């Protein structure tokens, strides 16, 4: 500490001595009324200033100086002398008083009003305030009258190295990729020094690393940190702590210093290949496992992290490449082996796969460290499971003629137990698919027989389901669909396609087509329908009509002559025989009804009834029926009217054989007391006929049970 203080004082005294040597060159003759400002920085200079003041006083010359200097952080038992004010007007008679005003006057700086000496009475800090501007003036001691204009000057605080460098943004963090080359820039740091950067070396900083070597280095002046070793491996060490020092005074002895820390993290690059934890994996799986089920997992470890550790998994070889697949799990970073196709323990009991794990993101800078992949062997053992029966075919198609005999065998299904134990199988029909129970099956051999007659014309296809069940384990069942097609036989005779009714015009011509008919057959021959038409043998020489076969398998009926008259014969019946081409052929006779009608000249049918001849011209049968209905309705109305009139004229007097006393009539009128007694004659009531069979009006009202005053 004494050495450091001595160096600081030496730095301060050196410029002051130089200033003192150069002061004589600043002496010039000043006006008599000019104030003189003298500066000093040491007791030696103060004595020299006193001597010079005597010389100036004698020669009436003085220095003109506009600034003074004072050291910061100076502390002693007495105030420090900054300088002295003096005017040529002062003869030394003590009649002049000096006044000081401005920054810090009276609080920081104090003046002796007689001698003009200025002292600093407080400790100064340049970093808080570097200079003070003050004003000095000489006045008459007694009258305070100014003897000359005020003079302004500056007191500058001289810097000393009292502030250590500081890292304002520390501690620092930085990253650099692992495996970087020597001299790769990591980051740079900056320290600040509150001392004066233009005065001396108090703020001149030099950087160095105190801790963190030999991995990193720093530029002394720019503070750029670089890697000092090549190919640093994150997998070996990921984080480094570097202690950085900034020292002022250009790094020389005695300078102040500050430190900070820098944490350097190595970021990952893909410089490591994946590696399986083991070279051989063993898995077992039941043969009845569901497709897509995960059988096992394999994992290749990678010392890298993040996407640099991501690997894809593939099956590159083995005897189970068609049955198994492997997918990559991005979260767990492993490969999942799954089943693609069904397994059969009885066919193959084990499989061997060769799987590969390869990095997805390859860094070409480190390709020489590859290959970035690894392989492992996977052995999968298939375990036996109790499997359901297996049919010899996934579906069955059976054909049977519709005239097949009952209980005849129409087909057979077979199934077996694939297990080594080979349980016997029992067959049955799912009756939900055979509600009419048209088929049966032999439970032992699977032969399907016919239970009820078939009719192709009602149903061509029958779809049933056969169930195979293991006898030793009834829970093991299998189902298979069986489609039964009913084959056609010629068991239906052809007939008219619809009910035909032909109309023959009286004025028709010979050879005119009366009607064209077609036939239909419910059977379905392979080569299609071909019909033969003919008349009954006794009708071959029919004098009125003939038939003609058309190319479209239809038949035309033609008239042999004209002059048909509906008054002579209104309807003709023509039996026609229709035969099919089946084996053996079937035939049927259909009768065509032909009506004789009256037609217009252009052959349009107008009337086919005989009654049309006797009807009035322009009056149809429908009109006559309507007229007749109206007459009947009028008659009914007249009869009803007469009946109602007779019923209305019947007398209302009670007949002799009726006793009024036996008729109790009730009404809700309030009685009138004595007036009622006087109003009615009991004798009259006992003789309903009254006098000459006449009843008074009020009595008639009473017998009817209606009050006389009722509305």
Residues 211 and 228 sit within 8 Å (Cβ to Cβ) = no
Mean pLDDT, to the nearest integer, of 450-470?
93
| Of 13-17, 183-187, 362-366, highest mean pLDDT | 183-187
Please determine, for residue 703, whether its predicted confidence score (pLDDT) is greater than 60: no
Please state which of the ranges 251-260, 318-327, 681-690 shows the lowest mean pLDDT.
Answer: 681-690
Nearest to 462 by CA among 485, 431, 440: 485
At 611 the pLDDT is: 55
pLDDT at res. 32: 28
pLDDT band at 93 (very low <50, low <70, confident <90, very high): low
**pLDDT at residue 113, rounded to an integer:** 81
Report how far residue 85's alpha carbon sits from residue 336's, in angstroms, rounded to the nearest whole number.
97
57 pLDDT tier (thresholds 50, 70, 90): very low
Torsion 371-373-379-382 (CA) sign: negative
Given pLDDT bands bounded at 50, 70 and 90, which one contains residue 699? very low
Tokens of 491: 């068991």
Residue 103 CB-density burial (10 A; 0-12 exposed, 13-18 middle, 19+ buried): middle
Q: Where is pLDDT greater, at 243 or 119?
A: 243
Provide the pLDDT confidence category of residue 196 given band limits of 50, 70 and 90. confident
pLDDT in tens, 490-519: 878 888 888 888 888 888 888 888 889 988
Provide the pLDDT for residue 623. 75
| Residue whose entry in the numeric block shows the structure tokens 């009954």 | 536
Instruction: Check whether 24 has a pLDDT greater than 50.
Output: no
Share of the chain above pLDDT 90, in %: 34
- E strand or H helix at 118: strand 117-120
SS3 513: strand
Rg (CA), the chain: 69
Average pLDDT, integer, range 208-230: 93
Q: What is the pLDDT of residue 662?
A: 47
* Domains, the chain: 67-158 (2.60.40.60), 166-267 (2.60.40.60), 275-383 (2.60.40.60), 390-487 (2.60.40.60), 495-607 (2.60.40.60)
C-alpha 171/C-alpha 259 separation (Å) is 9
pLDDT at position 23 over 80: no
**Can you give 130-170 as a three-state secondary structure string?**
CEEEEEEEEEECCCCCECCCCEEEEEEEECCCCCCCECCCC
Q: How confident is the model at residue 641 (pLDDT cuts 50, 70, 90)?
A: confident
pLDDT at 91: 66
For 469-540, where are the alpha helices, taking DSSP H only?
none
391-427: pLDDT as tens digits: 999 999 999 998 899 999 999 999 998 888 888 999 9
| Stronger pLDDT, 666 or 135, i.e. the higher one | 135
pLDDT band at 323 (very low <50, low <70, confident <90, very high): very high
664-667-669 Cα angle (round to 5): 135
pLDDT bracket for residue 706 (50, 70, 90):
very low
CA separation for the pair 20, 47 (Å, rounded): 12
165-168: long-range contacts, CB 8 A cutoff, minimum separation 24: 165/191, 165/192, 165/193, 165/205, 165/246, 165/247, 165/248, 165/256, 165/257, 165/258, 166/191, 166/192, 166/193, 166/194, 166/258, 167/191, 167/244, 167/246, 167/258, 167/259, 167/260, 168/192
Residue 69 contacts by C-beta under 8 Å, 6 or more apart in sequence? 16, 39, 41, 82, 155, 156, 157, 158
pTM: 0.47
pLDDT of 681 above 70: no
Write the CA distances from 266 to 176, 233, 270, integer angstroms. 5, 8, 13
Q: To 10 degrees, the CA torsion angle through 51, 53, 57, 63?
A: 140
Average pLDDT of the residues of the chain: 79
Q: For the segment 348-377, what is each residue's pLDDT rounded down to a tens digit? A: 999 999 999 999 988 888 887 878 999 999
The per-residue pLDDT for 180 is: 92
- Sign, Cα dihedral of 392, 396, 400, 406: positive
Confidence of residue 709 (pLDDT cuts 50, 70, 90): very low
Provide DSSP, 647-702. HHTS--SPPTT--GGG------PPP-THHHHHH--HHHHHSTT-BTTB--HHHHHH
Q: How confident is the model at residue 637 (pLDDT cuts 50, 70, 90)?
A: very high
The Cβ-side half-sphere exposure at 213, using a 13 Å CA radius, reads 7
Q: How confident is the model at residue 35 (pLDDT cuts 50, 70, 90)?
A: very low
């Amino acid at each position: 500490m004494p050495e450091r203080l001595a160096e600081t004082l030496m730095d301060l005294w050196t410029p002051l001595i130089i200033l003192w040597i150069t002061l004589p060159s600043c002496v010039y003759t000043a006006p008599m009324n000019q104030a003189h400002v003298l500066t000093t920085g040491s007791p030696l200079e103060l004595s020299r200033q006193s001597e010079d003041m005597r010389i100036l006083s004698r020669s009436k010359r003085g220095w003109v100086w506009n600034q003074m200097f004072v050291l910061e952080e100076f502390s002693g038992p007495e105030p420090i002398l900054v300088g002295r004010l003096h005017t040529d007007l002062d003869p030394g008679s003590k009649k002049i008083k000096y006044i000081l005003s401005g920054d810090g006057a009276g609080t920081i700086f104090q003046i002796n009003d007689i001698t003009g000496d200025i002292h600093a009475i407080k400790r100064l800090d340049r970093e808080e305030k570097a200079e003070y501007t003050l004003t000095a003036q000489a006045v008459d001691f007694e009258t305070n009258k100014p003897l000359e204009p005020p003079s302004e000057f500056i007191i500058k605080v001289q810097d000393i190295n009292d502030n250590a460098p500081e890292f304002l943004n520390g501690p620092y963090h930085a990253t650099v990729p692992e495996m970087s080359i020597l001299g790769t820039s990591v980051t740079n740091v900056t320290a600040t020094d509150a001392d004066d950067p233009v005065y001396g070396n108090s703020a001149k900083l030099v950087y160095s690393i105190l801790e963190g070597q030999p991995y990193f280095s720093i530029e002394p002046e720019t503070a750029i940190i670089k890697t000092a070793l090549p190919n640093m491996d994150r997998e070996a060490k990921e984080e480094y702590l570097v202690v950085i020092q900034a020292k002022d005074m250009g790094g020389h002895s005695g300078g102040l210093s500050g430190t900070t820390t820098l944490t350097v993290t190595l970021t990952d690059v893909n410089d490591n290949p994946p590696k399986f934890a083991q070279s051989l994996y063993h898995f077992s799986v039941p043969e009845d496992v569901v497709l897509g089920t995960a059988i096992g997992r394999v994992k290749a470890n990678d010392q890298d992290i993040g996407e640099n550790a991501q690997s894809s998994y593939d099956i590159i070889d083995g005897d189970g490449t068609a049955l198994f697949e492997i997918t990559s799990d991005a979260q767990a970073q492993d490969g999942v082996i799954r089943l693609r196709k069904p397994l059969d323990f009885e066919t193959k009991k084990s499989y061997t796969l060769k799987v590969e794990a390869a990095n997805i993101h390859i860094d070409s800078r480190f390709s020489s460290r590859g290959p970035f992949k690894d392989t492992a062997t996977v052995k999968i053992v298939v375990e036996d499971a109790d499997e359901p029966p297996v049919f010899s075919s996934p579906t069955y198609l059976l054909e049977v003629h519709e005239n097949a005999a009952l209980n005849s065998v129409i087909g057979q299904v077979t199934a077996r137990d694939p297990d080594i134990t080979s349980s016997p199988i029992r067959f049955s029909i799912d009756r939900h698919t055979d509600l009419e129970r048209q088929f049966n099956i032999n439970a032992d051999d699977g032969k399907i027989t016919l239970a009820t007659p078939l009719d192709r014309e009602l149903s061509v296809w029958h779809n049933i389901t056969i169930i195979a069940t293991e006898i030793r384990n009834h829970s093991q069942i299998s189902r298979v669909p069986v489609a039964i097609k009913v084959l056609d036989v010629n068991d239906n005779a052809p007939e008219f396609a619809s009910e035909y009714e032909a109309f023959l015009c009286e004025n028709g011509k010979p050879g005119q087509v009366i009607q064209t008919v077609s036939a239909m057959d419910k059977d379905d021959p392979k080569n299609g329908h071909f019909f033969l038409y003919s008349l009954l043998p006794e009708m071959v020489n029919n004098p009125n009509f003939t038939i003609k076969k058309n190319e479209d398998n239809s038949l035309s009926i033609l008239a042999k002559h004209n002059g048909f008259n509906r008054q002579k014969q209104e309807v003709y019946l023509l039996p026609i025989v229709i035969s099919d081409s089946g084996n053996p052929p079937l035939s049927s006779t259909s009768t065509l009804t032909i009506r004789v009608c009256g037609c217009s000249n252009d052959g349009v049918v107008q009337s086919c009834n005989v009654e049309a001849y006797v009807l009035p011209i322009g009056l149809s049968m429908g009109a006559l029926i309507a007229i007749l209905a109206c007459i009947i309705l009028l008659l009914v109305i007249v009869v009803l009217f007469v009946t109602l009139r007779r019923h209305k004229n019947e007398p209302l007097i009670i007949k002799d054989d009726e006793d009024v006393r036996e008729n109790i009539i009730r009404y809700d009128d309030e009685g009138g007391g004595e007036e009622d007694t006087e109003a009615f004659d009991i004798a009259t009531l006992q003789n309903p006929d009254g006098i000459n069979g006449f009843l008074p009006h009020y009595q008639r009202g009473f017998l009817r049970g209606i009050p006389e005053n009722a509305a």
